[in-house]
Amino acid sequence: MGVYHLMGLGLSPGTVIGPLTYLAHRYQRWNHEDQAFFAGSGEAAPRQADQKVGDIQALVLFTTREILQGDRPSLEYIENPPGRVAQEPLQEGGPMKEVLRTHLRREWPAIAGGRTEGTVFWCEVDRRDIRTTYERVARVVAALAGVGGQGKEMWINLTGGNNVMNFALELAAILSGDVARLYYVQAADERAEKCLRFTAEDGYWVDLPILPLGLGRLRRAILEVLTAHGPLPLEDLYARLRNEYWDLSRGLDAPETLRREHLTPLWKGRFIQETAQGYAIGPQWELIQPYLQTLEEARAEGRTIEQLCEKEPWIEQEVIHF
């Protein structure tokens, strides 16, 4: 099983080709450090058999209509040798799909895991609309996570696109818990930014932490009860949890235990608030809840990413033959 890389895409083809060539370099070299870099990827059986893991199966690119249609050409770029900054040859920009197609055919086979083709999913988003962009990212993440017993392995690149796209990608990673890796690639200077392929090994790839939301099942249950019935005094909230969520609340031996171990941390995080009538949901939960609901609705939809392509006009599938 290969990796699906999700990323925002602006006008720079290096956003896609740069990290792909970096990963291909390490995949082909496969020394001890490279094996450690890819160690968390793939299924257990191939790793235990000392087979390579971390190959790229598909790219999911979130971008705007004008880039998809070729109305805005890509930026000019430098055809640099992998691992080095160069000043030439300087290539003119062109329609992004055509530019990426050309270079993906050349670069992808080195990290395709023996495949003779790779899949690109082109996803149209609105770079000024966070809710719509997040909804589409969430539907893609849910579709990939719902495949088979364990879902597809997803890595998210936060380098390209704009803040709206990257916020949507990062939020989906945090809320879903289904993304294996979050990363960013950085260039040393303006010359390096123009380069198509990766420009250095040191300081180029940056792994980013996926910060968990910090809500276990019992705390989610507390928020659900308060959403439906709040505000509630401590004793009433404790009684509802013991009656309606007895399997989750077995460790709660008294209302004070509930307050100390769960309500206080939720209050500090502004997930709940204390009122004259008792505990009620707080502003942070009100903010997060619509995004969680969108993700849950996407999961309930139960579609694969290929089925999304058949149903929705904003996502299309393209097979790149090497």
Residue 211: pLDDT band (50, 70, 90) is confident
Regarding whether 190 and 96 lie in a shared domain, the answer is yes
The answer to the question of residue 291 being in a domain is: no
Contacts 24+ apart (CB under 8 A), 35-42: 40/180, 40/181, 41/3, 41/153, 41/180, 42/1, 42/153
pLDDT tens, position by position, 61-82: 999 999 999 999 999 999 999 9
pLDDT tens, position by position, 266-322: 999 999 999 999 999 999 999 999 999 999 999 999 999 999 999 999 999 999 999
Here the tokens at position 18 are: 């740069």
For residue 195, how far is the Cα from the chain centroid?
Answer: 25
Regarding whether 34 and 172 lie in a shared domain, the answer is yes
Regarding whether 246 and 182 lie in a shared domain, the answer is no
The domain in which residue 246 lies consists of 217-270
**C-alpha distance from residue 28 to each of 31, 74, 225 (Å):** 9, 29, 53
Regarding whether 204 and 315 lie in a shared domain, the answer is yes
The answer to the question of residue 277 being in a domain is: no
pLDDT exceeds cutoff 80 at 46: no
> Residue 11 is part of a domain; what is its CATH number?
3.40.50.10770
Regarding whether 308 and 238 lie in a shared domain, the answer is no
The answer to the question of residue 184 being in a domain is: yes
Burial class of 232 by CB neighbour count within 10 A (0 to 12, 13 to 18, 19+): buried
Beta strand pairing call for 153-157 and 278-281: unpaired
| Cβ-contact 4, 60 below 8 angstroms | yes
Neighbours of 19 (CB within 10 A): 24
Whether a cis peptide bond, with omega within 30° of 0, leads into 233 is no
Contacts 24+ apart (CB under 8 A), 279-283: 279/226, 279/230, 279/231, 279/232, 279/233, 279/234, 279/237, 280/226, 280/230, 280/231, 280/232, 281/223, 281/226, 281/227, 281/230
Regarding whether 203 and 156 lie in a shared domain, the answer is yes
Report helix angle 283-301 to 217-229, nearest 10. 110
Give me the number of domains the chain comprises. Answer: 2
Residue 222: pLDDT band (50, 70, 90) is very high
Averaged pLDDT, 240-245: 93
Here the tokens at position 235 are: 């004793």
Averaged pLDDT, 156-164: 97
The answer to the question of residue 78 being in a domain is: yes
| Cβ-contact 63, 161 below 8 angstroms | yes
Here the tokens at position 96 are: 């992004």
Which of the 8 DSSP states describes residue 232? B
Residue 132: pLDDT band (50, 70, 90) is very high
The answer to the question of residue 256 being in a domain is: yes
189: amino acid identity, one letter: D
Regarding whether 312 and 231 lie in a shared domain, the answer is no
Regarding whether 179 and 311 lie in a shared domain, the answer is yes
How far is the C-alpha of 35 from the C-alpha of 18, rounded, in Å?
20
Regarding whether 265 and 166 lie in a shared domain, the answer is no
For residue 252, how far is the Cα from the chain centroid?
Answer: 35
Residue 58: pLDDT band (50, 70, 90) is very high
Strand, coil or helix: 148: coil
Global pTM?
0.91
Regarding whether 264 and 128 lie in a shared domain, the answer is no
Regarding whether 185 and 207 lie in a shared domain, the answer is yes
Residue 13: pLDDT band (50, 70, 90) is very high
Neighbours of 237 (CB within 10 A): 24
How far is the C-alpha of 200 from the C-alpha of 187, rounded, in Å?
8
pLDDT of residue 40: 84
pLDDT of residue 149: 59
The candidate with the shortest Cα–Cα distance to 126, out of 156, 157, 163, 174, is 163
Regarding whether 162 and 14 lie in a shared domain, the answer is yes
Averaged pLDDT, 47-59: 85
pLDDT exceeds cutoff 80 at 50: no
The candidate with the shortest Cα–Cα distance to 17, out of 155, 160, 156, is 160
Contacts of 10 (CB under 8 A, 6+ apart): 63, 67, 160, 161, 162
